[in-house]
Amino acid sequence: MPIEIKDADAIEKMRAVGALAAEQLEMIEEYVQPGVTTGELDRICHDYTVNKQNAIPAPLNYRGFPKSICTSVNHVVCHGIPSDDKVLKNGDIVNIDVTLIKDEYHGDTSKTFIVGEANVMADRLTKTCQEAMYLGIQAVKPGGHLGDIGHVIQRFAEKQRFTIVKEYCGHGIGKVFHDEPQVLHYGKKGTGPELKPGMTFTIEPMINAGKAAVKLLPDQWTVVTKDHKLTAQWEHTVLVTDTGYEILTHRKDDTIKRCT
């Protein structure tokens, strides 16, 4: 399938819903504390989406997913299902992945939060993953290629002696939640489709402290590291502009510029 090029109206709607998704991650941060359950975090986000933002939580009932956000704790790579049985403890790390629908368009973003005080490995892994995402975003420019993004992410992560999850990737996004193109977080510079203004997609590297191997649990959603070592993920929705990139889900705590 061809990669959709958004027009000005679609881009404005993507900006609007992206800002709501970013706002939700800013809102939930104060609740990410030792003793909270991931089920509670899900209910807070659901209520905020529906009653405060007048939006729709895209994950809820998406291909049977039972909750409004994904909460992936410690060795859970992605698609963790919130539960009242999962209590966050001091030193945990948890990725909260939110996707909203507003005026038919999707805004998708995630952040790995440190619960309480992190140990050295958790802190280093989390920061490395965030920086890898930033480097991937900075590789976005018209005339470049999708492979440029994966190349810089992989090179940076492996230089820090971490591994890249290859089974899951970023994706095109707009009216469709998961659209073309697939955005790999590894690869070779100069390969893949050419980047053109108006393309919108997510960049969301998953980086492991141990080996790269992962497995899908019987619930058919939760993905974990096979060696049960820590993993981290960060995600932004990005627009290719005439001059570079624009981060549609930019937050106040981001240390990268919103656009170039």
pLDDT exceeds 90 at position 225: yes
Is residue 101, in this structure, part of any structural domain at all? yes
Is residue 31, in this structure, part of any structural domain at all? yes
- Distance (Å, whole) CA 93 – CA 124: 12
Write down the pLDDT at residue 30: 98
Q: Which of 85, 4, 2, 82 is nearest to 46 (CA)?
A: 82
- Distance (Å, whole) CA 123 – CA 173: 30
pLDDT band at 124 (very low <50, low <70, confident <90, very high): very high
Is residue 138, in this structure, part of any structural domain at all? yes
Q: Which two tokens stand for residue 246?
A: 């624009």
pLDDT exceeds 90 at position 245: yes
Is residue 254, in this structure, part of any structural domain at all? no
Range of the domain at 241: 8-247
pTM for this entry? 0.98
157 close to 132: Cβ distance less than 8 angstroms: yes
Q: What is the residue-averaged pLDDT of the chain?
A: 98
- How do 163-164 and 206-208 pair as beta strands? antiparallel
Is residue 217, in this structure, part of any structural domain at all? yes
Write down the pLDDT at residue 1: 79
Q: Which CATH number covers residue 147?
A: 3.90.230.10
Q: How many domains does the chain have?
A: 1
Cis amide bond preceding 142, omega within 30: no
Q: Which two tokens stand for residue 183?
A: 């955005």
Is residue 105, in this structure, part of any structural domain at all? yes
Is residue 257, in this structure, part of any structural domain at all? no
- Strands laid side by side in the 214-216 sheet: 76-78, 223-225, 214-216
**What is the mean pLDDT of the segment spanning 9-32?**
98
Is residue 255, in this structure, part of any structural domain at all? no
pLDDT digits (tens, 9 = 90+) for 137-195: 999 999 999 999 999 999 999 999 999 999 999 999 999 999 999 999 999 999 999 99
Helix (H, G, I), strand (E, B) or coil at 40: helix
